[in-house]
Structure 1
């Protein structure tokens, strides 16, 4: 760690490394956000399918009652 501190006090390199690290972690976060959104979309679609089936079952029951 002492090595890094020396470089930091001199300026230059250390800052560049930090910027690079931040950029990478930013990319990772973006990727995670995108993956989360996609997962949520898939879950939403699944939910909708299930709800659609439930509704159709209910409608079938209603029709049978009426007949």
Structure 2
């Protein structure tokens, strides 16, 4: 059981991240997001449908590799 204040997972261990907004998903491997006022193509690691999660305007946390 996770105790109050305990970290479940340290996101900084993944590397640099940026925030963005989901715009659309042209195919199962690519999404288009707005990052810093620009549209950028991003890789989608989970190839499932995710229709209930990836909705336009949804905030994203993206790895900046």
TM score, norm. by length of structure 2: 0.18
- Larger relative strand fraction: 2
- Larger relative helix fraction: 1
TM score, norm. by length of structure 1: 0.18
Greater radius of gyration (CA):
1
